[in-house]
């Protein structure tokens, strides 16, 4: 048991999926896991452990933004021995060829700042995904009938951004999408020698203002979760 996770020793699997929304964690556990058991509800941040095709999996909400993600990822790694951590979440598209409902596999995650940034001082550390997970996720996404993209994303702790000039530069440099957690997850995975990947569903488009209707989100998120689970155990 830690400050933020109430699970007992042995109740957290080595493979952990990290949706930001705790209610999405509950939906994913009920939909994809067999014999899912609630193992954490501290501060309402729900976590469940069950099995997927015989493999133990924990699905733990991580909250919104890198500071929150950092708390849960640190405790999962240091106190519960998590080895593979995959963020499953939504993102906003930054390129015209990336469409709403598409899935983005984040090869790298740039950021203007994260909880880990100060330890590097003058160095601009480049957080990247685990290549084995990235390759397996790309292969798992083939033939699913969903648009699939691999490339860089931007992790921001500012949801209501007032920097259109920054978005323009990100677009200019080929960044695929914006989300709020992956850069810190990748940095922590590098620090502790663990595997990490972000598999993201495009829920809205920064350039066109298109957004995924609520009644169509479930199926789109299902593709993302199935890709993540398949990659974890490839």
- pLDDT (tens digit, 9 = 90+) per residue, 107-137? 999 999 898 988 998 999 999 999 999 999 9
- 6 inside domain: no
Q: Which one of 102, 130, 161, 204 is the catalytic residue? A: 204
What are the Cα distances from residue 194, in Å, to 122, 149, 228? 25, 23, 16
- 2 inside domain: no
- pLDDT (tens digit, 9 = 90+) per residue, 22-36? 999 999 999 999 999
- 10 inside domain: no
Which residues are bridge partners to 86 per DSSP? 17, 197
- pLDDT over 90 percentage in the chain: 88
Q: For residue 148, give its domain range.
A: 15-232
- 5 inside domain: no
184 has binding-site annotation: no
For the question of residue 204 being annotated catalytic, the response is yes
- pLDDT (tens digit, 9 = 90+) per residue, 134-148? 999 999 999 999 999
User: Which pTM was predicted?
Assistant: 0.96
pLDDT confidence of residue 163: 84
88 has binding-site annotation: yes
The model's confidence at residue 220, banded by pLDDT at 50, 70 and 90, is confident
Q: What's 144's domain CATH number?
A: 3.40.50.1580
107 has binding-site annotation: no
Considering its fold, how many domains does the chain have in total? 1
204 has binding-site annotation: yes
Q: How many CB atoms lie within 10 A of CB 5?
A: 23
How many whole angstroms separate alpha carbon 104 and alpha carbon 224? Answer: 9
- pLDDT (tens digit, 9 = 90+) per residue, 44-100? 999 999 999 999 999 999 999 999 999 999 999 999 999 999 999 999 999 999 999
Phi, psi for 173 (deg, rounded to 5): -95, 15
């Amino acid at each position: 048991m830690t400050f933020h996770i109430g699970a007992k020793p042995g109740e957290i699997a080595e493979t952990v999926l990290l949706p930001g929304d705790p209610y999405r964690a509950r939906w994913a556990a009920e939909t994809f896991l067999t014999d899912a058991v609630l193992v954490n509800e501290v501060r309402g941040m729900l976590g469940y452990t069950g099995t997927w095709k015989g493999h133990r999996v924990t699905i733990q909400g991580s909250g919104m933004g890198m500071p929150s993600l950092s708390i849960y990822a640190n405790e999962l790694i240091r106190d519960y021995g998590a080895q593979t951590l995959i963020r499953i979440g939504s993102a906003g598209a930054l390129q015209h060829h990336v469409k709403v409902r598409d899935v983005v596999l984040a090869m790298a995650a740039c950021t203007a700042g994260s909880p880990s940034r100060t330890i590097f001082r003058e160095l601009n550390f480049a957080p990247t995904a685990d290549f084995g997970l990235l390759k397996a996720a790309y292969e798992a996404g083939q033939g699913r009938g969903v648009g699939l993209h691999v490339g860089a994303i931007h992790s921001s702790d500012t949801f209501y951004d007032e920097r259109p000039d920054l978005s323009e530069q990100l677009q200019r440099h080929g960044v695929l999408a914006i989300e709020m957690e992956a850069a810190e997850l990748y940095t922590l995975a590098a620090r502790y020698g663990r595997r990490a990947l972000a598999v993201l569903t495009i829920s809205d488009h920064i350039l066109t203002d298109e957004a995924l209707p609520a009644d169509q989100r479930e199926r789109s998120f299902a593709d993302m979760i199935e890709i993540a689970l398949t990659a974890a155990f490839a």
